[in-house]
Every structure is written in C-alpha cells, then in structure tokens.
Amino acid sequence: MSSPDGQLATLPEQVLGLAGAYVRHNDLLTHHALSAPTSADQLTAPRNSSRTLAAHTLGQLARLGIQRRRHPVEIPESFARLRQLHWLTSAAFDTLDRLHGELSIATGALRPPPFGRTPPDPVPLDEVLKDAATGIAIARDLTAHAPADLTACARALAAVVHHHVPAAPPPPDIQRAAAEADVLHAVACGLVALPESPGTGHANSPVRVPLQEVRALEEQGLVQSVRIPGPRPGLAAPSRVHLTGRGCAHLAAAFARSRTTSLTGTPAAVPRPAADAVRSR
C-alpha cells in the first residue's frame, strides 16, 4: 500500500488522505471472514494494512511535530490525537500479528517454536478461529474512530495553514459549496456508501446523502466509489465513497473558508462513526 498522502500538498490534505486510508482499512476488517484451511493467508492483508497504517501515521506525526514547533498554540491537540491513533493502530497490528501466527501454527503452515522437551498440546483449529474472530473485532474497534478524528484534525489544521498561504477566492455559489462540503465531510469520515441497488435514491449513510449529490461530485473528480471487499467473492456488496486527491484539496479549502467567513454556514453534524454505524449497509 503506497503512502496515502504521496501527492497531497498541504498538511490538512495529507491528514485527509490518511483518513481515507483508515476508511479502507476499517472496511477490510469489518467485512473480513476467516475459513480453514487458509485462514492465516486470509489474515495477511489486514495485518499488513495495519502495519503500513501505523508507519504512515508515525510519518504524519513527525511532519506535524515540525509544525508544532512553529505553531505551539494551535497544533498540540491535533498532535495528541495522531499520537494516540498511532498507539491504537500499533496495538491493532500486534493483535492481528499474534492471531496470524496462531492461525499459521493451527493450520500447519508454520511449525510451533521449541517449547522445552515436550511441546504444548495443539489448540483445536475451531477454537483458534473463534479467538481470531474476537481479535479481529478488537482490532477493528481500535481504529473505528480514526477517519472522524483525522477529519477533525484536518479541519483544525486548515485554520493554521490558511494564515500562511494566499486566501482562495470564495466560490461563486456559496450555498452550493457549503452543501458539497457537507457531503465531502461525511465521505472523509467514511460514512457514505452506495447501495447494491440504487432504488432508494440515497446513499447508505448515517447522514442523508442523495445519490445525485454523490454522482455530481464524481463528475467533478472529487470522490470515487470503490467496491467494499466482501467475505466471499461473487456476492453483491456496496461501494464505499472515498475522497480523491482533488477532493481532499477541495475539502481542506472549504475548512479554511469556514474559519474566515460565516457565509458558508456550519457543516452538517456528522455522527461519530461508532462501530455499528461504520458497519451499516
């Protein structure tokens, strides 16, 4: 998995890109299922994803640390949030890495380490799978709030960046721009998915998002929909809506504008993505 902030210019854009990477990771865990005898292989992708995210979060923390020295008043809260997120993601990796090793031994893909003269009794595979399911749920809960927390960080950081770059001109249609920002905000938090069948006219989201709004943003290149990985290939699955690089820049600019003018209004309240909200279809 390549760096989520590779081509994003400003710090708020980079943080929004990292939020999108966590949305993908959470979807991978939410819709993950294990089955013998390849259960260890099936856990490889989530384990590697959590390790990569921990590294990217640490890198973003280092960049934020530089800004903290320049802006000691505005940055500390965002820095503390990212530091906590790095700890949580590292804990998720440790959990998944342990489970991967246990499944590898239980399925015979890996020989158990030496244990004195008498090896321990093997743990039945069904018991290991049950423990793995619990561990995956724990790992998922550790990063469930990451997209919303990172989006909040990006919003706070946009105010800092705004004072050090030329202000962007206001959009010609302020009301329309505010509505777009509300949808992009929900997308950044990982709360918008397209249903398998568009009969309702709305996206699957805790906030009401018309499908036509999503399609309009897709046409502008601000969002893209990606099929959510399902537990079994071939089954119909919804598609998660993600910000593109251009969408990250657009939302970061909207965050900066909202700090300097009241004309854009207040973004619609976006519910904190509790695990059941993120998993909702």
Collapse the DSSP code of 4 into the 3-class scheme (helix H, G, I; strand E, B; otherwise coil) and give the result: coil
Collapse the DSSP code of 193 into the 3-class scheme (helix H, G, I; strand E, B; otherwise coil) and give the result: strand
Distance in angstroms (rounded) separating the CA atoms of residues 106 and 128: 7
CB proximity list for 197: less than 8 A, separation 6 or greater: none
CB proximity list for 136: less than 8 A, separation 6 or greater: 29, 32, 34, 43, 46, 96, 99
Least Cα distance to 19 among 81, 71, 68, 63 occurs for 81
**Residue tagged 């918008």 (tokens):** 192
Distance in angstroms (rounded) separating the CA atoms of residues 277 and 271: 9
Which residues, listed in sequence order, are joined to residue 224 by a DSSP beta bridge?
242
The pTM assigned to this predicted structure is 0.81
Residue type, 183: V
pLDDT at 35: 65
Distance in angstroms (rounded) separating the CA atoms of residues 281 and 278: 8
What are 144's two structure tokens? 């469930």
| ω into 37 cis (within 30 of 0) | yes
**From first to last of its 281 residues, what are the pLDDT tens digits of the chain?**
444 555 567 899 999 999 999 999 999 888 776 765 566 677 888 999 999 999 999 999 998 888 777 776 668 888 899 999 999 999 999 999 998 888 887 776 555 555 555 555 566 778 888 888 899 999 999 999 999 999 999 999 988 876 555 555 555 556 777 888 999 999 999 999 887 766 556 666 677 788 889 999 999 999 999 988 765 555 567 889 999 999 999 999 899 887 543 333 344 444 454 443 333 33
Least Cα distance to 18 among 76, 47, 60 occurs for 60
